[in-house]
Each structure stands twice: as C-alpha cells, then as structure tokens.
Amino acid sequence: METLNPGEIPEPDCAPGAPHPRDTISLFGQSTAETAFLNAFNSARVHHAWIITGPRGVGKATLAWRIAKFLLSQPTKETVKGSIFIKQPSPKTLDIDQNHPSVRRAQSLGEPRLFLCRRPWDDKAKRLKKEITVDEVRKLKSFLTLSAADDGWRVVIVDDMDLLNTSAANALLKVLEEPPKKTVLLLVSHQPARLLPTIRSRCRDLRCGTLTPGMQNAALQQAGVKASECKATAELSGGSVGTALRLIQSDGASKYAELINLAATAPGLDRTAALSIADKCSGIANAEIYDVTINLVEFLLNRLARFGAMQPAHWIDAAPDEHATLTKLAPDIHAARKWAQLAHDLYARVSHARAVNLDPSGVILDMLLKLDDVARP
C-alpha cells in the first residue's frame, strides 16, 4: 500500500484556502488576550497551561503560535553569553523578528523545543483520524522528558482539545498535574465547557472574541482574499475569519441566497428546489457541501429566531430579499420561539445523523421539510 510523504499529508489544523496559523504574521482583534499573556510574562507569572477559547475561526490557533514563537525566541543563558544578570526590557508586544532562528525552525516544524499535538494521519484509511489519540499524547509526554539544552522555554500546542478522545484526555491530565519546569502548554478549544473539569481547573483562560467587520476584512486580506469576497461573506460569517474562508471556498453566499429563495416559498415549500439543494449534498465527494449546507440552515433558523424576537428597525441582509423573507416567517416573538426550538431540535437530529452515517441528502431534505412545517400557522 502506497504511503504518503510527510509533505503530502493534509494538515488538520489549517483551514482550506488559508495560510497555516504558524505562517500568519499578524493577529487582528485579539489584543485583550495578547495583553493578558504579556502581563503574566512580564510579571514572571507565566502559568504552565493556557486554554485559548472562543468561536471558530477568530484566531485562536494564530494566537497560540504567536505565543509559542514569542517564548521560543526569548534570550537564554547561551544567547546572552554571560549577561544573564542584566535585566532585559519588558516586551510590549508578541511581535518578533520572523527571521529569528527559533521562529524559522518553528515554522518548518523543526524546532526541538516545540511539540505540536494534533490529529494524526491514518495510513491504512488514507485520511486524517477523527480524534487525537492517546498515542499522540504519549509522544508529547516523551517530548517533555527531554530537557532543553539551552535552558530556554519549551512549548506544546494542542489543536484542538475538543478532539481528544477519552484516553488521550486522561493522559494529558496527568501531564497537567505534574507540569515540567519552564514549559507552557497552549490548548486550543472551541467548546471548553465539554472538556474535563479537572483539565479546565488546571489551566488559565485566554478568551478570543468575534471580530469587527473591519478586523475581519483585514485578516481575510492578509490571507489573500479579495475585498469583494470579504464583503459577500461579512454578515454570513459572524466575525469568524475561518468561517468566511470556508464560505468563500464553497460559494456559501450563493448557497445561502438559494436557501432564502426557498424559504420564501414556505409554507408550501417548493419541493423541486428543496430536492435540488438536498441532492447537491449526496455522496462522499460532496461532504464539504453537506457541512456548509447544514451550517447555513442552522444560520437561517437562528436569524429567524433573532429577527422574530427583536423585530429590529435596522437589519443588514445576509442575502438579497432576506429581510422580506424573515418578516414573513418571523413576525413576532411567538414565531421566534418556534424557530429557536426547531434550531435546537435539528442540532440534535444532525448529531444523531452524523453518528449513524445517515444519507446526507435525506438529512438536508428532512431539515427543509421541518422548516416548512414550522412555517405553517
């Protein structure tokens, strides 16, 4: 059986169409989290483990890599050569010289004081595993048994914590219970509430928030996205650069417009149009379209609930004619409650469908028919 070369294996911690977080120089909109870490560093109170939390796609992994490169580039006994008793000025930013030897080694994954824990490649199945396995945490523990020759910082990045299976989570807990000296673990998590309480209690939090439209556009343009594409996904992505990139890659703006046009026919949904949307999600080759369509249906339901509850005087459409469709389907708080309940119910149904591998087109069609049912008086 053919084995892929390391350079051919997809990286599980990189959004399609985006540069890897380790190659991203600037981080937008997360100055509060950066300042919190810098304050701890400058006061010599760097905790051994930090959970970096927040919505998907707002820069959590980029922050982890910025902290990692910052720590790895700090002066050591060897680099200061006899001047270790001279007080170094307190850094005011995580920005560092991208040509620093430790930074260049980190970006090529060749830095001996850095360990990256993420989903491994399955050679037999020829795909990334769905979980971070206990074997990866065992490798992490082996890394920590080695001492840094130059007395510098060692850094571990786990991306992401939500994918640790039970055995891996328990193994990592033992590391957190007995942290090695001058070692920092940076744990990226989208859903920290689902982590073991014993893990969370041993970590400090760094919270990343959603981005303003201006910050998001700046981050997208740094990733090479055209200004016109930034504008098309601004409302749909909800301040998440990762979500915006995914929508751009999958033509999400057009897909949401198609959903709005379909919803406008409810009650009495246009079955032909509904079948067309569902059929595009069928088959393994369309797995990404399936995921995006589910997210867009959930987005629509949440928008309906919000619109009905708020009845806003000012509303920014995420697609042409969205306001008219929401006005029709969510005229009051009673309708808002129905849409919110449907969003909750469909989330559970989708989770079950994924667990038992139900036909994607059938799942999407079921979601659209449920939408039609709720739209009826």
From 247, 261, 242, 273, select the one nearest 364 (Cα to Cα).
273
265 in a structural domain = yes
- Arithmetic mean of pLDDT over the chain: 90
Last residue of a domain, one of 207, 240, 259: 207
pLDDT surpasses 50 at 124: yes
pLDDT in tens, 255-305: 999 999 999 999 999 999 999 999 999 988 898 899 999 999 999 999 999
Backbone torsions φ then ψ of 328, nearest 5 degrees: -70, -45
Same domain (yes/no): 201, 254: no
**What is the torsional sign of CA 10, 16, 20, 23?**
positive
Q: Give the pLDDT confidence score for residue 246 in this predicted structure.
A: 87
Of 178, 207, 236, which one is at a domain's C-terminal end?
A: 207
- Cα four-point dihedral sign 223, 315, 272, 296: positive
Q: Which residue has the higher pLDDT, 135 or 226?
A: 135
Q: Are residues 186 and 255 in the same domain?
A: no
Stretch 114-123: mean pLDDT: 93
Residue 354 has pLDDT above 80, yes or no: yes
- Is 50 exceeded by the pLDDT of residue 1? no
Query: Rounded distance, CA 35 to CA 207, Å?
Result: 11
Q: 56-115, pLDDT tens digit by residue?
A: 889 999 999 999 999 999 987 655 555 544 567 889 999 999 999 999 999 999 999 999
Per-residue burial over 118-142, b if 16 or more Cβ lie within 10 Å, else e, is: bbbbeeeeeeebebbbbebbeebee
Name the residue with tokens 């959930």: 298
Binned at pLDDT 50, 70 and 90, residue 6 comes out as: low
Looking at residue 236, its amino acid is L
Answer yes or no: do 261 and 151 share one domain: no
pLDDT at 42: 95
Is residue 223 in a domain? no
Domain region containing 157: 6-207
Q: Are residues 180 and 47 in the same domain?
A: yes
Q: How many domains are there within the chain?
A: 2
Q: How confident is the model at residue 228 (pLDDT cuts 50, 70, 90)?
A: confident
pLDDT attached to residue 183? 95
**120 within a domain of the structure (yes/no):** yes
Q: Is residue 334 domain-shared with residue 189, that is, in the same domain?
A: no
Q: Do both 180 and 278 map to the same domain?
A: no
pLDDT tens-digit map of 332-349? 999 999 999 999 999 888
**Rounded CA gap, 28 and 35, in Å?**
13
Calculate what percentage of the chain has a pLDDT beyond 70.
94
**Is there a domain that residue 65 lies in?**
yes
CB-side exposure of 229: number of CA atoms within 13 Å?
19
**Same domain assignment for residues 85 and 197:** yes
Q: 220 lies in a domain?
A: no
Q: Tell me, yes or no, whether 46 and 169 share the same domain.
A: yes
